[in-house]
Structure 1
Amino acid sequence: MTVYTSAGLKVYIGGVLKQKSTDFVLTDFTTPPQTWVEIKEVEAAGSAGDTSEAVNFTALGDKRTRTQKGPRSAGSMEIVCGIDAADPGQLAAIAAEKSISDFAFKLVLNDAPAGGTPSERYFIGKVMSQSEQYDRASSIMKLNISLGINSNIVRVAAED
């Protein structure tokens, strides 16, 4: 088993992609092809993945609360960037925050085997917020982008 650092991870924003009632698959992001724009100067990319909502029921007769799995949510992803006012990816994310639409997102991990291709993650989401963070005199000014993930995460494995 080999593990990798997050260093080298790349985040991309695509175009508007509509919700559907079933899980997304890779072809939803490739047919027709998306135009991907890298969001650059990413310092942190947060986390993404499904969590089931707890649905509880307590039977009076046995005094035991039972937990069932309810709807799934991939949650929010918090992306932190160094502000680059000329970066097309940051500008696209800022513009997407003004939209009510879901956008396609792609992560490219830094886990390619020698001579191979890295793994990728695809999902749709809304840019829920974009805010600038200024902090101290010795700090880099940051752009914080919050994504509300509205689909399953499509995983594409790294290949030799």
Structure 2
Amino acid sequence: MIFSTAGAKLYIGGTQAMKSTDFVEGDFSTETWTEITGLESLGSVGDTANEISQDIVGEGRTKRIKGTRNAGAMEIIAAINYADAGQQALLAAEKTPQDYAFRVVFNDAPAGGTPSERMFIAKVGSVSEAYDTANSVMKLNSSLWVNSNVVRVNAAAGV
């Protein structure tokens, strides 16, 4: 089954401290979420292992192993809305050194069920405005530097 990104929502929560173990769904259970509206693009997020390589002279071969994991940077684009509480929270978060909780809720719930979600912590690395041409919408571009694993919550059927 395939699903569209259309209808997905992005939320920002409060500050969350990094930890040395993976986050789980329960780590986000007390968050108060504020939706960031006007989204055009959610970018991408997910772990990639860093490559560690060693050239072995006697074998004429480069050997590779996995190093630390990096969940990347989620590049989001939204239509500027000065009154949007989520966009205001992004602007405020960029001015701090803390990590914030983020939650993506997809539009993939089965009838009567709940949608899938992704949760993680990230630093708001940048927030910039793009004005482009006369026939363009002014946009708010933000880079979320993910500092944790991405917690996956699958869609669930209704009871």
TM bin, normalised by shorter chain, reads over 0.9
Equivalent residue number for residue 93 of structure 1: 90
Q: Which residue of 1 aligns with 2:10?
A: 11
1:62 shift after superposition: 1.2
TM-score, reference length from structure 1? 0.97
Q: Report how many residues are paired.
A: 157
Question: Please, what TM-score do these two structures have when normalized by structure 2?
Answer: 0.98
| Letter of the 2:2 counterpart | V
Match of 2:59, SS state, is coil
Q: Give the equivalent residue in structure 2 for 1:84.
A: 81
Within the candidate set 82, 101, 106, 1:104 is matched to 101
Distance in 2 separating the partners of 1:19 and 1:104: 10
Post-superposition, which runs of at least 4 consecutive aligned residues in structure 1 deviate over 2 A? none
Q: Report the counterpart of residue 129 of structure 1 in structure 2.
A: 126
Instruction: In structure 2, give the amino acid aligned to 1:91.
Output: Q
Cα RMSD of the aligned pairs, angstroms, is 0.5
Q: Where does residue 149 of structure 2 map in the other structure?
A: 152
Residue 46 of structure 2 is matched in structure 1 by 49
Q: Is 1:75 equivalent to 2:76 in the alignment?
A: no
Q: Distance in 2 between matches of 1:27 and 1:99?
A: 25
Letter paired with 2:7: G
Moved more, 62-71 or 87-96: 62-71
- Unaligned 5+ segments in structure 1 are none
- Partners of 1:9 and 1:72 lie apart in 2 by 26
Residue number in structure 1 paired with 2:25: 26
Unaligned runs of 5+ in 2: none
Aligned to 2:128, what secondary structure does the other structure show? strand
Name the amino acid aligned to 2:132. D
